[in-house]
Amino acid sequence: MIDPVLLKNEEGLALLKKSLARRGEKESIFLEIIELNKKRRELMISSENLQNQRNSLSKEIGQLQSASRDSDKNKIEPIKENVRVIGDTLKQQKEDLAKIDADFENIMHLVPNILAEDVPDGKSEEDNKMVSESGPRPEFSFDVKPHYEIAENLDLVDFKRGVKLSGSRFYVYNEEISKLERKLTDFLLTTHEKKGYKERTVPYLVANTAMFGTGQFPKFEGEYYRMDADGLNLIPTAEVPLTNLFSDEIFSEDQLPVYLMSSTPCFRREAGSAGKDTRGLIRVHQFQKVELVKFVSPESSSEELEKLTGDVEDILKKFNLCYRKVLLCSMDTSFSSAKTYDLEVWLPGLQRWMEISSCSNFRDFQARRAKIRYKNTSRAKNELVHTLNGSGVALGRLIAALLEYYQTADGHIDWQKIYSLMK
């Protein structure tokens, strides 16, 4: 959630208005926020003035009641009536303010994070800024196949039985890919552990409050698998439980930074654009992923985003994958993020780029929603931490890339080469 302090001065209002416009949000949202905030202030000021007036009149009644003169006591009843009228007005204003507060809070929950200044303007992924490209695109002496053809030809993935079990965009890994995913998971966790990330095993079901804390709810409730009878949700990523581990908690300053990681399945009702990547392992409803999450001081979060992205890049370099680093434009940056890098791998079989990791700096947006703070000793007060997260990486997409990169001319996979890269 954005900082309400932005609404208290012209500079903050200008920043909010600019960020909403860059994201393509309707101006009506900004105007509604301004109007509701104005009504809130007016009601609070009016209530405060009336309360002071009632207190003054009550004091006057007390003084008159203690007086012995009958003439003074005769003045009491009109004042009491005035106090009753003020009380009725205050009661109504309290009800009005509660409704306005609820409306204000609801709309503030729908306001996306303020974009970082260096996020480029743009409407879609076509406007994202390419920061760097690493490694030459692989060349083959034979016609390369897309990963799903290789997987079907070698009976590595059972797409048909996945559909039989659960519907479209589900699959079943057979022996070799099951073993590969298990070893890749261990490799990823071990590699990130050396960078300081500490592993956690977390629930795959979380409460609505956790989904709110990281920004999935309330705006995107329809995109996730929910169990309303239990008030629980299947996690879309380990970012949700990892971040909310510290909701309503306060770090000591010397605890920061905190680096966490977890390997979990991820569940998405919306698996991407309709009709796109309907075959293969790229856009599916369930997949395995290693997630990286950071809790850091506000002063260090920009630097920590670069380090986080670099940690993921090291994984891609380990497997000799050609990839590029892309800075997402204003309208392609997610709701909760202030700034996001995507790492995209070149797929020789599909002849296109595929996102394999997304690394984001949320600044204090998630921390404000989840109430995650730290003791700032220099200012002697509790302040919001900054949170970051990145895919470290999505296993299905990594496997898709490895199948395409390490296919052989006779239609098989160089398993020995793949496993040697994990040593």
Q: Quickly state the pLDDT bin for 81 (edges 50, 70, 90).
A: confident
Q: Are residues 192 and 258 in the same domain?
A: yes
For residue 361, the SS3 value is: strand
Same domain, 36 and 148: no
For residues 40-66, average pLDDT: 89
Identify whether residues 137 and 84 lie together within a single domain. Answer: no
Amino acid code (one letter) for 103: D
pLDDT band at 61 (very low <50, low <70, confident <90, very high): confident
Query: Per-residue confidence at 274, pLDDT binned at 50, 70, 90?
Result: low
Residue 405: exposure state from Cβ atoms within 10 A (0-12, 13-18, ≥19): buried
Confidence category of residue 271, pLDDT binned at 50, 70, 90: low
Backbone φ, ψ for residue 118 (5° rounding): -90, 5
User: Does 272 have pLDDT greater than 80?
Assistant: no
Taking the C-alpha atoms of residue 305 and residue 308, their distance in angstroms, rounded to an integer, is 5
Q: pLDDT over 90 for what percent of the chain?
A: 90
What pLDDT is attached to residue 102? 96
117 in a structural domain:
no
What does the pLDDT read at residue 277? 72
Amino acid 275: pLDDT: 57
Region for residue 275 given its phi and psi (left: phi exceeds 0; alpha: psi -120 to 50; beta: otherwise): left
The answer to whether the CB of 45 falls within 8 A of the CB of 27 is no
Please give the Cα distance from 24 to 123 (Å, whole number): 8
pLDDT at 165: 97
Please report the pLDDT score of residue 65 as a whole number.
Answer: 76
> What's the pLDDT band for 77 if we cut at 50, 70, 90?
confident
Q: Which of 369, 65, 35 is nearest to 210 (CA)?
A: 369
- The dihedral formed by the CA atoms of 120, 126, 130 and 136, expressed in degrees to the nearest 10: 180
- Does residue 194 share a domain with residue 48? no
- The CATH number covering residue 309 comes to 3.30.930.10
> Alpha-carbon distance 411 to 149, whole Å?
10
What mean pLDDT do residues 264-291 have? 85
Last residue of a domain, one of 54, 77, 108: 108
Q: Would you say residue 335 has pLDDT above 90?
A: yes
pLDDT digits (tens, 9 = 90+) for 190-204: 999 999 999 999 999
Cα 293 versus chain centre, distance = 11
Q: How far apart are CA 202 and CA 217, in angstroms?
A: 20
Residues 356 and 344 sit within 8 Å (Cβ to Cβ):
yes
Same-domain check for residues 312 and 406: yes
Question: In this structure, are 238 and 376 located in the same domain?
Answer: yes
> Residue 377: its pLDDT value, please?
93
Residue 56 belongs to a domain: yes
This prediction's pTM: 0.93
| Whole-angstrom distance, CA of residue 59 vs CA of residue 53 | 10
Q: Are residues 82 and 167 in the same domain?
A: no
pLDDT for residue 270: 75
What six digits make up the tokens of 311? Answer: 């940690």
- How would you class 416 by CB atoms within 10 Å of its CB: exposed for 0-12, middle for 13-18, buried for 19 or more? exposed
